[in-house]
């Protein structure tokens, strides 16, 4: 400990303060550069402006270029504005609401605190009272910056948010302790050349740099998260049929091919169903395209609800759908096809009766072969009168009780 004190005593206070000022201004310029030339979010400008006020305020505390009284009054006001800006910035960044009452409350507190500082600068010059006022104000604002994102509104946080809040909470506690200690103190040196002040100055340099890093890191993480969300949305859009919400033809074929390859590698089996809504052109011509769209949407919803989690379904085009049933042979797949046929009939879009024809294929685990076979059976079901299932065992048409009629 003595060695640390001796090392700090050997440092020149004026030089340290100048180095700190240069660092603060440099990091502030980084924030403003990011704001003007990079992607940022609401509140970032307030955070950058707060850093500028901090830099100017700390400089005036130690370099009283405007005279002792005016420098002290102005520096405290700038540091009050810094805390207000940082709270406003983090509130905007996280979407903490209501925002305006919080800002007005902080501004009112800053004005009252500054008026008190002016009194103890120009009327009753009392350093300890100024320390109490400044420390109490800082403890309150910094604790709000640290805690409100978690207590007021559980907003989405990013990797460095916890560290950012932890730093502010630690600083708030330090200011609270300082305020309590200064209440009954008689000697409160601010900006003196002693070892404690130098140590605090070194700590503030590290904290300021790390807070800047935290803000930039949170912004970068947010940008990356939005890019991932946009990429996922584009992928979803490219893979999904906009009307029904099912996989589009390309994605269905990709999924089906991947499933079949996996089944072939593990000695599995699969069946494939192709179905087509009956007399769909008549629905569009008689009832309008909106009715046709509703028929497709309702059919898709009922079909999906009737399938297992591992089954693959997609809209192949127009009124045609494809369903891959992994692990099912023809007899088991026929039972599923019957369920799907009844599901389409139960959809009743806009009160209309809608039916579908089905082609069921099984056998070789080759997608092109299954598609060709299912399409052939589908054509046979339509030729035989529609509203039925064609498969290797013949034609099946169920009545409402589910009994085979043909």
285-300 confidence digits (pLDDT tens): 999 999 999 999 999 9
Indicate whether 101 belongs to any domain.
yes
Minimum mean pLDDT among 66-70, 98-102, 155-159: which range?
155-159
Indicate whether 242 belongs to any domain.
no
The answer to whether residue 199 scores a pLDDT higher than 80 is: no
Both 188 and 302 in one domain: the answer is no
Vertex 13: Cα angle to 9 and 18 (nearest 5): 145
Give the whole-angstrom CA distance, residue 246 versus residue 252: 9
Indicate whether 204 belongs to any domain.
yes
Q: How many CA atoms lie within 13 A of 118 on its CB side?
A: 9
Share of the chain above pLDDT 70, in %: 91
- Unique residue bearing structure tokens 């893979």: 239
Both 21 and 139 in one domain: the answer is yes
pLDDT score for 406: 39
pLDDT score for 154: 60
Both 130 and 232 in one domain: the answer is yes
Domain final residue pick, 210, 236, 262: 236
- The structural domain count of the chain equals 2
- 246 neighbors 314 (Cβ within 8 angstroms): yes
Q: What range does the domain containing 54 cover?
A: 2-236
Indicate whether 405 belongs to any domain.
no
Both 196 and 311 in one domain: the answer is no
Give the whole-angstrom CA distance, residue 165 versus residue 145: 7
pLDDT score for 122: 95
Both 37 and 155 in one domain: the answer is yes
Both 228 and 257 in one domain: the answer is no
Both 263 and 228 in one domain: the answer is no
Both 232 and 262 in one domain: the answer is no
Q: Which residues contact 19 (CB under 8 A, 6 or more apart)?
A: 205
Tell me, what CATH number does 361's domain have? 3.30.70.270
Mean per-residue pLDDT, 349-357: 93
User: What are 363-371's contacts with CB under 8 Å, separation 24+?
Assistant: 365/260, 365/263, 365/264, 365/268, 365/269, 365/270, 366/260, 367/253, 367/256, 367/257, 367/260, 367/272, 370/260, 370/270, 370/271, 370/272, 370/324, 371/272, 371/274, 371/322
Both 262 and 150 in one domain: the answer is no
- Per-residue pLDDT of 302-340, as tens digits, reads 999 999 999 999 999 999 999 999 999 999 999 999 999
pLDDT score for 290: 95
State the pLDDT confidence band at 178, using cuts at 50, 70 and 90: confident
Mean per-residue pLDDT, 3-27: 76
Indicate whether 401 belongs to any domain.
no
- Per-residue pLDDT of 104-128, as tens digits, reads 999 999 999 999 999 999 999 999 9
The answer to whether residue 35 scores a pLDDT higher than 70 is: yes
Mean per-residue pLDDT, 268-273: 94
- Unique residue bearing structure tokens 């599923």: 336
Residue positions annotated with a catalytic role:
319
Both 23 and 75 in one domain: the answer is yes
Indicate whether 260 belongs to any domain.
yes
Domain final residue pick, 207, 236, 265: 236
Indicate whether 243 belongs to any domain.
no
The answer to whether residue 62 scores a pLDDT higher than 90 is: no
Tell me, what CATH number does 30's domain have? 1.20.1070
Mean per-residue pLDDT, 210-214: 91
Indicate whether 27 belongs to any domain.
yes
Predicted structure pTM score? 0.69
Q: How many CA atoms lie within 13 A of 24 on its CB side?
A: 25
Minimum mean pLDDT among 1-10, 49-58, 179-188, 267-276: which range?
1-10
């Amino acid at each position: 400990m003595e060695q640390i004190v001796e090392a700090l005593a050997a440092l020149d206070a004026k030089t340290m303060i100048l180095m700190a000022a240069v660092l603060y201004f440099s990091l502030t310029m980084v924030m403003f550069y990011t704001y003007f030339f990079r992607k940022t979010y609401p509140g970032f400008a307030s955070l950058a402006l707060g850093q500028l006020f901090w830099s100017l305020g700390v400089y005036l505390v130690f370099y009283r270029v405007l005279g002792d009284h005016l420098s002290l009054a102005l520096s405290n006001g700038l540091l009050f504005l810094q805390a207000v800006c940082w709270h406003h910035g983090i509130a905007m960044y996280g979407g903490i609401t209501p925002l305006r009452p919080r800002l007005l409350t902080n501004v009112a507190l800053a004005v009252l605190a500054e008026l008190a500082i002016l009194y103890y600068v120009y009327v009753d010059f009392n350093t300890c009272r100024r320390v109490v006022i400044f420390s109490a104000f800082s403890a309150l604002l910094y604790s709000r910056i640290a805690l409100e994102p978690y207590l007021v509104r559980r907003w989405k946080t990013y990797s460095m948010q916890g560290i950012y809040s932890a730093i502010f909470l630690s600083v708030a506690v330090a200011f609270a302790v300082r305020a309590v200690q200064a209440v009954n103190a008689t000697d409160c040196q601010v900006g003196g050349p002693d070892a404690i002040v130098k140590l605090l100055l070194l700590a503030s340099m590290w904290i300021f740099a790390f807070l800047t890093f935290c803000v930039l890191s949170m912004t970068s993480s947010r940008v990356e998260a939005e890019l991932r969300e946009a990429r996922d949305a584009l992928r979803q859009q490219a893979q999904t049929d906009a009307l029904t919400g099912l996989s589009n033809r390309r994605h269905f074929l990709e999924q089906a091919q991947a499933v079949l390859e996996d089944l072939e590698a593990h000695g599995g089996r699969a069946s494939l169903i192709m179905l087509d809504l009956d007399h769909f052109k008549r629905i569009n011509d008689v009832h309008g395209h909106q009715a046709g769209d509703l028929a497709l949407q309702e059919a898709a919803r009922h079909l999906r609800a009737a399938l297992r989690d591992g089954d693959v379904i997609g809209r192949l085009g127009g009124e045609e759908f494809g369903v891959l049933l992994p692990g099912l042979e023809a007899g088991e797949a026929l039972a599923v096809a019957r369920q799907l046929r009844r599901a389409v009939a139960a959809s009743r879009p806009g009160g209309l009766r809608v039916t579908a024809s089905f082609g069921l294929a099984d056998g070789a685990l080759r997608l092109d072969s299954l598609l060709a076979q299912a399409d052939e059976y589908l054509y046979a079901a339509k030729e035989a009168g529609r509203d039925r299932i064609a498969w290797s065992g013949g034609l099946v048409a169920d009545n409402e009780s589910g009994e085979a009629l043909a």
